[in-house]
A and B are shown apart, each in its own frame.
Chain A
Amino acid sequence: MTVKTGIVEHLGEKAILVPDLLAGALQANDRAKLRMTVLQEAVAHARHPEAGVRSLSGELRAAGMDDPALEESIRGARLLPEDAVLVPGADDLVSGLRGDIEAMIAPLDAVAAPSAADFSARLQQLRLEEFSGETVGDAEIATLTSANREGRDTAHLLVMDLHKALNKLSTEVSVETLAGAHVLHIADDDRPRIRAFMRGVDRTRGLAFGHPGLGTTAARSGERLVIQNDIGTTDAHVLVVAVEAGTVTITYTDIHLRRAQFFVGLFDSWKMDWVPLAERKARGLAEGAAFFLVTGSYTSRDENDCQAFLEYLGSRIVFLIDWNKARKALQPFVSKSEAVRLLRQAAAEDYGHRGFLELGGAELLFDAIQRSAEGRIPYGTRLDAALGATQAYDLLARVMRLSSQGLAQRRSARLLRDEVRAELTQCVVSVEREILDIVLRQLGLARDLASMIQDALSDGRGLNREAAQRLSQRAKHLEAKADVLTVRAREMAEGPMGRGLRFLPIVNGIEDAVDELEEAVFVLSIAPDHVATETIARPLGELARTAVECCSGLVRAVAAALQAPAGNRRDTADTLEGIEDAVQAEKQADAAQRAAIAGFIADIDCARTLTVGVETARAIETSTDRIAHAALVLRHCVLDDLAPWKS
């Protein structure tokens, strides 16, 4: 018997097997009759060797008994003393007959027909198991093949009676199709429930994308409606559902533990009682065919609720097909637990994983990476390490969804693969955007600092002690914030997988600029008295203004770069323009610094004031150097992206 039926039997659900058993029994009937015919022909040939041999090859072949030994039984039959006959392979014939009779009793047994016990008793009394050897005596021939009802019971009579009983059973037990399920022997109350289950199955059937399976059989067994679904075509992957009154009991077997766990997880939103996962072995199965058994039950509130549950259950089965294959397909890209999470989400949101597999599964992604993200995802880097766990997860979820929906809409596989590539590109680019976002924040703080300096010096009166202290504290605070941003950006850019590595010099440049500006504030804050700073305030204020302009230029450039990573011409032009503004502002700062220092050296006698002036001017001008340098790095990256050989 197949593993599936073996397990089903093990589960004690014989009623569901009746059609199979019936079919088997009718075949066994044919075989039994043929075996008996072979025996008769053998005896006839032995007694009258001159009469020739009737070929039974046609019938034997039709019954699947194409064994040359059977023909040999007839040909090699010899008469023995005392009217016994030698029939080669007689013991096989008889034991085969015994098996056939057992098979004929099986369906009657499955439906618990009272006649089954009688037939079993008759078989026992024939004592066919005691026959051995190749010598068949007269009495034995009679026991096997006589059709005379006047005497003892014979195998032939038993077969004939069984055949009659089976035919009767056949008419009673008819298999009909209800909503796509094979059903037999069901009560009227069962019909809406079976329909509900099938509604669920049919709703998500498409997500299998042609994978065979999902066949459903239903039958009534005593007080219960029993539904069985094939799921995929893998043996030992079986789902049996029993409905009794309002309680639905699910019995699920699987050879994969994780998938069994996944199955249980599908019902998180229903109040189910689960019996813990247990490992079983079914009798009669091949070695190593252990399986995990899960049993859970749901008590419904009313008929509507019961049907709702059955429908939901039916709709979940497709997500079990090729589950393990899908999980393996995802594992080169994300962690095991994330792969399972993706599959859970795919089931929860009704797009499933089969579409993804149909488009190529892991190959689909490898191909996309190679073609679209070359150089940006270092070879050998797992996707979640290169993009970040969240990004990678979201990307894969999107790919699975678009595969499923795209195939369902009958869009071409080629176009869908292109879309997957586009998704990946977007993702990689979005990671770079994150770094530019941080750069923008750094620049904001740099500009704020430069602006603060400009404000403080703007009225030409200089800073008094109090104001200078406050300014110094604020500057430190801004610098501390900028540090945090820099660390974050460096981690992203320098991390083992190097996301956005090319923007690192920009990050570092602005960090340096912020440091210089904070240095400028520090020097101002330790100026001895505000009278002295009056004389240096105006030129330094002007210098600070150019620093603000410099930051503004780069802000404009980065903001434009952020808004259009796709290389839109307008945006690129604005980016380059902002960069140019920053570079020009640095030149202005240069000139302003020289003018300031020249003035200081010419006019200031006090060494302290002179030092404060010169040092502050130097620090502010250096900050613009750093910003301008960062701007040039950005230009390099932008022009790089525009290079004609990039796709």
Chain B
Amino acid sequence: MSEIEVHPVLIGRSLSGKTASDETGVSARDIGSKAAQLRLMSRLGLRVPPAFVLPTALCGPVNRSDEDALRQVRDALTMGIRFLEQETGRVFGDPRQPLLVSVRSGAERSMPGMMDTVLNVGLNEAAVYGLMRLYGDPRLAWDSLRRLQQGYGEVVAGIGAGVFEERLAVLVAEEGVAADADLDSESLERLALDYRRAMQGIGKPLPVDPAEQLERAALAVYRSWEAPKAREYRRLNHFEDLTGTAVTVQAMVFGNAGGASGAGVAFSRDPATGAPGVYADFLFDAQGEDVVSGRRLPGDLSLLERRLPHVARELVAGIAQLEAAQKDMQDVEFTVEEGVLYFLQTRAAKRTPRAALKVAVDLVEAKTLTPAEGRALLAGVDLDKIVLTRFAGEEAPAATGIPASPGTVAGRAAFDSETATRLAGQHEPVILIRHDIATDDVAGIAAASGTLTAAGNRTAHAAVVARQLGRACVVGCRALGFAKKDGRTSVTIGDHTVSSGDWLSIDGSSGAVYLGRREVVTVRPEAELAIVAGWGA
């Protein structure tokens, strides 16, 4: 019989600014690292989608099927939902203005085998119309339902992914589109009906009662702590002292709810140069994944400033607060729903070595960090490799793309990672040219001096990897054309044909692409390097 009396930890606007004396002792150990971070942002006064957390302390007793613990889970869920309803003005289970939540696991450390997040919990076929009433978008409504069906089905009910993937694949083929993101509202409605039939056929239908969905999902999170993969991981890494996972239930916000909504990613500084100033990618009427996928070209902060100036101001102020609080450059995910800004997540931003230098210097100069802390921030950065480069002379570019990672390089064209690696092995500088970058191409990016893609944007995978590796990168160059003849790929830039091995030059700071081999001039950031040297050994 468990002795603990557990209350859910509440996170929301109405609680921000409360003094540290209340809810003392709440740490990442109790509520998981992600939730702790959410709480941090909230207590800084930043608006986050309200949430509540069922603490890690309940994990063990629930897995022992302790009756008392199970009752406490139910009570905590009820209490937490009531809190969310107050914060959002929506009602859980109301078909007219439904409150939807995400349910996610969260331990002090993340590990494999833990349950994936289930989105849109609280939705059912009656509430779908409520979503339409709220957002005026049938596509959003049916898409949300089918995501819940699949999420709940796979993650909570244990239905194999194939059941959903196969049906989706058939529909995508029938509709003649590239992927599920391109399906229209009518197709998604049919998909949701198809999923419903499939789940019923298996005998594991999505519960119609939102409270039942929520309870089952929460219990599934706790139980996933004991999944074989998770246990093995803990054993191998000697994490036996961890108490368990927490369950975070957070109100859903929809960035794809129309013209006054959107999603974006913002850095507190330029990730290429470290220069202060918010560097953002933002899309209206979109979800987070749309921003990074490159399907649509995001705008920068000015796009947000034009349409929703108050949101832009709030974002800039909030990001500055976060950098100061975390004492490091931040990479912040945010969503806007109907003109209201929500911070979702913050973490230390990936940056080029050049940027790392600038950031460390700035923060120490501002006395945010001590010199020792500044040196710690630069650990792993090869200061000798930091160079600023530009091309000698003036020339008109053959084409332009989006600058994604700085560096001015000239190299031989390679159209796949193998060729890039081979040429680099022969000590030739290489420029990897692709339509888009896939995860397998990381080796290619590393081997090449620069990367050039036709698709993508600044926050795309290619850009992130290139910055990390300190390689020049230009993305979104639409003038690039690809053709395959006799099994050989050839690339056109405008009217010019570029064959494998031809010389090309790119400037990752301006996005310019030049034919031929341009001369590179290098310069070291002497002033900053001197400052760092002054911080002692």
Contact = CB atoms under 8 A, between A and B. Distances in A.
B184 A448 contact: yes
A473 B134 CA distance: 31
Interface string A531-568: 00000000000000100110111111001101100000
B259 A549 contact: yes
Given A445-B185, A478-B184, A549-B259, A440 B478 contact: no
A244 interface: no
B47 to A, nearest CB: 24
A474 interface: yes
Interface string B136-163: 1111001000000000000000000000
Contact of A474 (B139, B177, B185, B285): B177
A395 B49 CA distance: 46
Contact of A556 (B95, B133, B139): B133
B188 to A, nearest CB: 9
B129 interface: yes
Contacts, number: 90
Contacts of B129: 559, 562-563
A578 B478 CA distance: 40
B228 to A, nearest CB: 43
Contacts of A559: 129-130, 132-133
Of the listed residues A552, A570, A571, the one surrounded by the most CB atoms of chain B closer than 10 A to its CB is: A552
A14 interface: no
B141 to A, nearest CB: 8
Interface string A422-444: 00000000000000000011011
A45 interface: no
A485 B138 CA distance: 15
A332 to B, nearest CB: 35
A448 B130 CA distance: 19
A296 to B, nearest CB: 38
A459 B297 contact: yes
Contacts of B184: 444-445, 448, 478, 481
A234 B259 CA distance: 74
Contacts of A553: 136
Given A461-B478, A478-B184, A563 B130 contact: yes
B137 A552 contact: yes
A581 B284 CA distance: 20
A486 to B, nearest CB: 13
A443 B129 CA distance: 13
A217 interface: no
Contacts of A545: 259
Of the listed residues A458, A473, A545, A560, the one surrounded by the most CB atoms of chain B closer than 10 A to its CB is: A458
Contacts of B186: 441, 444-445, 481, 485
B285 A441 contact: no
B96 A458 contact: no
Contacts of B212: none
Of the listed residues A444, A447, A448, A473, the one surrounded by the most CB atoms of chain B closer than 10 A to its CB is: A444
Contact of A563 (B96, B136, B138, B177): B96
Contacts of A481: 184, 186
B501 interface: no
B258 interface: yes
A451 interface: yes
Contacts of A91: none
A563 B97 CA distance: 11
Contacts of B133: 556, 559-560, 563, 574, 578
B185 A458 contact: no
Contact of B185 (A447, A464, A548): A447
Contacts of B136: 447, 551-556, 578, 581
Interface residues of A, number: 38
Nearest to B303: A458
Given A478-B184, A563-B95, A570-B96, A448 B139 contact: yes
A459 B138 contact: no
B436 interface: no
A562 B130 CA distance: 10
Of the listed residues B130, B185, B189, the one surrounded by the most CB atoms of chain A closer than 10 A to its CB is: B185
A478 B138 CA distance: 14
B232 interface: no
Interface in B182-214: 182, 184-186, 189
B138 A444 contact: yes
A66 interface: no
B459 to A, nearest CB: 15
B96 to A, nearest CB: 6
Contacts of A563: 95-96, 126, 129-130, 133
A363 interface: no
A455 interface: yes
Nearest to A581: B136
A411 interface: no
Nearest to A530: B478
A477 B183 CA distance: 11
Given A444-B139, A555-B136, A549 B175 contact: no
A533 to B, nearest CB: 13
A454 B283 CA distance: 12
Contacts of A478: 184
B176 A477 contact: yes
B175 A443 contact: no
B514 interface: no
Nearest to B295: A455
Nearest to B187: A481
Contacts of B126: 563
Contacts of B189: 441, 444
B279 interface: no
Of the listed residues B126, B132, B259, the one surrounded by the most CB atoms of chain A closer than 10 A to its CB is: B132
Contacts of A574: 96, 133
A577 to B, nearest CB: 10
B83 interface: no
A458 B132 contact: no
A464 B296 CA distance: 14
A551 B285 CA distance: 14
Contacts of A455: 296
Contacts of A441: 138, 185-186, 189
9 contacts: A445-B185, A485-B186, A545-B259, A553-B136, A554-B136, A555-B132, A556-B135, A563-B96, A571-B96
Interface of A: 440-441, 443-445, 447-448, 451, 454-455, 458-459, 461, 464, 473-474, 477-478, 481, 485, 545, 548-549, 551-556, 559-560, 562-563, 570-571, 574, 578, 581
Interface of B: 95-96, 126, 129-130, 132-139, 142, 175-177, 182, 184-186, 189, 258-259, 284-285, 296-297, 299, 478
Given A559-B129, A560-B133, 4 more contacts: A458-B297, A549-B259, A554-B136, A556-B136
What 7 A-B pairs have minimum CB-CB distances, sorted nearest first?
A552-B136, A444-B185, A444-B138, A459-B297, A559-B132, A555-B136, A448-B184
